[in-house]
Amino acid sequence: MAEEWKRSADVVIIGAGIQGCSIAYNLAKLGVKDVVVLEKDTPTAGSTGRCAAGIRAQWGTKMNCQLGLASLEILEHLHEELGMDIGLHQGGYLMVAYKESEFEQLKKNVALQNSLGITSRVVNKEEAYEICPTLSAEDAVGFTYHHRDGHADPFLTTIAYHKAASEKGVRFYKFTECTGIKVKGEVKGVVTTRGEIDTPVVVDAAGPYSQHIAAMAGIKLPFYSERHEILVTEPVEFGVCPCMLMSFSGNYYIQQRPIGSIIAGCSPEGHPEDYSLGNTWNFLEHMSRVIVKLLPKLGGVRVVRQWSGMYNMSPDKQPVIGESKEVKGFYISAGFSGHGFMFGPISGKLLAELIVTGTSSIPIDVLNYDRFERGELIEEPAVV
Amino acid sequence: MTEEEKERNVIVCRCEEITMGEIRDWIARGYDTFDELKHILRVGMGPCQGRGCREIILREIAKMKNVPITQVDPGTFRPPSKPVKLELLAKKEGGE
Ligand SMILES: Cc1cc2nc3c(=O)[nH]c(=O)nc-3n(C[C@H](O)[C@H](O)[C@H](O)COP(=O)(O)OP(=O)(O)OC[C@H]3O[C@@H](n4cnc5c(N)ncnc54)[C@H](O)[C@@H]3O)c2cc1C
Ligand code: FES
């Protein structure tokens, strides 16, 4: 298909995952005319299409609580805003603590969340078993729950942004790889496998490859990517595990999707750098043991598929969102460390505001990457 | 009903109940690879894993893009595997 090639643009975004598509849509919504998105494969082909797509507001820092809640609010109305169903399912997240110290932290998080308008609560074992009818967690010491947390379909959500952005005039070039960034004191343009585009603004939304894109502009991002495995079972009657079960010390997340299948994953031991997308027996057996222990009635359910995807890790497991202080016009939205799907709706909005107006409606200055040099890491207790 | 309308109403993917009209509309919007259509409409993800609809959809993509069918990406192929019960996988100790 002969497609017109734009030789110049106001903004060029690299990557059409949830981040790139949300940023593109929000820029167009704010009136930016010439937005181009480059995608080396097809939209959702990166981490977004491989993720568990859990969404939550149960966080442990004020900023993440605010971002998580703002994202939930956007997701709750996204169908109307974008005109496409996004497969939203709010069955809640049930956090499971196995150590007293962990439970103390979860309780502190709930107090903080409540002070910010998030109606999470501490629940006892009986309530936990009501929320998740097949749960067996006799060794747990405590639980917290927030009913608005849940899941959205990662494909539908991203395509909804993609389609709405296209309709507002954003140009998406798929199967088009960015191979260089032209910088002369500030951003001048991009080089791709299909030609060059002049632009004063580049947004790095390349997910697991964000540090490679930044390097093209001479910027060193202290990120790396690690492989995370995940499995899915055949569909079973809905309701056996309607919430997301999550434990930091237990190192797992398990959730039944509305179509009935159960997805489950955990973090790799030692968090090694790994850009491959392989699958292991080790994971399959370990994860199956975890599921059968927690949900003993599901032993007869069959695993039908396993796959893997990458987390783009930052030193404090918090993203970098904002403009580079070294290269004017180079913006970054990456390093989400495994939580980039749920933050996509709000981070895309805030970054678009930053590009257009210079400020954002929720302050995110602390998310600049110079925090790593200053040693001012963000301490978020609610990550795996 | 016109010939065109009749064709649009034909169910292409029986597992997921997707019509030719839906397929054509999404291809026309630029979602013209099998994987994209699969992600949006779940075609090819039903019990038959696309045996019933893949060929028809690939042919439609080729027709609408005006390219030979050999140039249409058939999409990610996931070899049929035999589903295994969780309790069997859980029983094996030690791994590897
Ligand atoms: C197993 C697993 C489970 C997860 N579970 C959750 C969860 O429950 N909740 C949650 O919020 N997050 C979860 N995540 C994390 C989430 O998937 C990511 O944080 C999020 O999808 C990142 O989105 P993105 O748009 O930044 O990156 P991506 O979706 O990876 O998009 C980046 C895009 O850039 C493209 N690209 C890269 N380099 C180039 C180039 N040079 N030129 C052109 N294009 C390029 C890629 O092809 C890709 O499509 C999970 C991740 C994994 C792997
Ligand atoms: S007919 Fe399309 S998946 Fe079976």
CA of A206 from ligand 1 middle (Å) equals: 8
Q: CA-to-CA distance for A160 and A383, rounded, in angstroms?
A: 28
Ligand 1 pocket check: which of A18, A51, A202, A342 to mutate, most ligand atoms within 8 Å of Cβ?
A51
Q: How far is the CA of A79 from the centre of ligand 2 (A)?
A: 26
Ligand 2 atom nearest the C-alpha of B47 is 4
The phi and psi torsions of A257 (rounded to 5 degrees) equal: -85, 155
Residue ranges of domains in chain A = 1-89+148-223+314-384, 93-147+225-311
Instruction: Kindly state the DSSP code that residue A296 receives in the 8-state scheme.
Output: G
Nearest-by-Cβ selection for B84 from A45, A166, A303 = A303
DSSP per-residue letters across A335-364: --TT-HHHHHHHHHHHHHHHHHHSS-SS--
Whether A146 and A252 have beta carbons less than 8 Å apart is answered as no
Please give the radius of gyration of chain B, using alpha carbons only, rounded to the nearest integer. Answer: 17
Cα-Cα-Cα-Cα dihedral of A78, A84, A89, A92, to 10°? -10
ipTM of the complex: 0.85
How much is the pLDDT for A1?
A: 46
CB contact under 8 A, A159 and B31: yes
| Whether A343 contacts A349, CB under 8 Å | no
| A159 vs B contacts (CB less than 8 Å) | 31, 36, 39-40
* pLDDT by 10s per residue, chain A, length 384: 457 999 999 999 999 999 999 999 999 999 999 999 999 999 999 999 999 999 999 999 999 999 999 999 999 999 999 999 999 999 999 999 999 999 999 999 999 999 999 999 999 999 999 999 999 999 999 999 999 999 999 999 999 999 999 999 999 999 999 999 999 999 999 999 999 999 999 999 999 999 999 999 999 999 999 999 999 999 999 999 999 999 999 999 999 998 899 999 999 887 888 888 888 989 999 999 999 999 999 999 999 989 999 999 999 999 999 999 999 999 999 999 999 999 999 999 999 999 999 999 999 999 999 999 999 999 888 886
- Asked if the C-beta of B90 comes within 8 angstroms of chain A's C-beta atoms, the answer is yes
| Whether the Cβ atoms of residue A246 and residue A253 lie closer than 8 Å to each other | yes
Closest C-alpha among A106, A86, A219 to residue A159: A86
Query: Does residue B95 register a pLDDT over 60?
Result: no
List CB contacts of A116: < 8 A, sequence separation 6 or more.
A62, A65, A66, A69
Q: Residues A322, A364: contact at Cβ < 8 Å?
A: yes
- Architecture, CATH, for domain A1-89+148-223+314-384: 3-Layer(bba) Sandwich (3.50)
B32 interaction partners in chain A (CB closer than 8 Å): 1
Residues 6+ positions from A64 with CB-CB distance below 8 Å: A318, A380, A382
Question: Do residues A74 and A55 make contact, with C-beta atoms less than 8 angstroms apart?
Answer: no
Residues in chain A: 384
The secondary structure of chain A in percent helix, strand, coil, rounded to multiples of 5, reads: 35, 25, 40
Which helix (H) or strand (E) element contains residue B40? helix B34-41
Task: Give B 1-20 residues with CB within 8 A of chain A.
Answer: none
The answer to whether the CB of A41 falls within 8 A of the CB of A175 is yes
Q: Name the closest ligand to CA B51.
A: 2
Q: What is the pLDDT of residue B96?
A: 38
For domain A93-147+225-311, the question of CATH label 3.30.9.10 is answered with: yes
Closest ligand to C-alpha of residue A68 is 1
> Is the Cβ–Cβ distance between A148 and A56 less than 8 Å?
no
B6 to chain A, minimum CA–CA distance in Å? 25
Percent of chain B with pLDDT over 70: 90
**Strand A150-151 and strand A54-55: pairing?**
antiparallel
Which residue is listed with tokens 């539908």?
Answer: A156
Q: Is A150 in the pocket of ligand 1 (CB under 6 A)?
A: no
pTM: 0.95
Report B:34-73 residues touching A (Cβ under 8 A).
Answer: 35-36, 39-40, 65-66
Q: Tell which atom from ligand 2 comes closest to the C-alpha of B44.
A: 3
3-state SS class at A33 = coil
d(CA A275, CA A280): 15
CB atoms near residue A275 (< 10 Å): 11
Distance CA B35, CA A361 (A): 36
B4-15: pLDDT as tens digits: 889 999 999 999
In this complex, do B35 and A42 lie within 8 Å of one another by their Cβ atoms? yes
**What pLDDT digit, counting tens, does each position of B51-82 carry?**
889 999 999 999 999 999 999 988 876 665 68
**Helix B34-41 crosses helix B54-65 at what angle (to 10 degrees)?**
120
Do A366 and A373 meet the contact criterion of CB atoms below 8 Å apart? no
- What does the DSSP 8-state code read for residue A328? B
Question: Ligand 1, atom 53: nearest CA belongs to which residue?
Answer: A309
Question: What is the reported pLDDT for A176?
Answer: 98
What are the distances in angstroms from CA A92 to CA A88, A120, A152, A242, A256? 12, 9, 12, 8, 11
- Within a 10 A sphere around the Cβ of A121, how many other Cβ atoms? 14
Give me the sign of the Cα torsion angle A337, A341, A342, A346: positive
Largest Cα span, chain B: 64
Nearest to A331 by CA among A362, A361, A356, A363: A356
Q: Distance between CA atoms of A48 and A272, rounded to whole angstroms?
A: 20
How far is it, in rounded angstroms, from Cα A35 to Cα A161? 14
Give A302's contacts in chain B (Cβ within 8 Å): 83-86
Q: Alpha-carbon distance A344 to B79, whole Å?
A: 32
B44 to chain A, closest Cα gap in Å: 15
- In order of their start, the domains of chain B are 3-92 (1.10.10)
Q: Of all helices (H) and strands (E), which one includes residue A64?
A: helix A62-76
Q: Give the Å distance between the CA of B51 and the centre of ligand 2.
A: 6
User: What token pair was written down for A262?
Assistant: 């159960």
Ligand nearest to the CA of B42: 2
Whether A319 is in the pocket of ligand 1, judged by its Cβ within 6 Å, is no
Question: B26 phi and psi, to 5 degrees?
Answer: -70, -35
- Region of residue A207 (left: phi > 0; alpha: psi -120 to 50; beta: else): left
Taking the C-alpha atoms of residue A154 and residue A296, their distance in angstroms, rounded to an integer, is 29
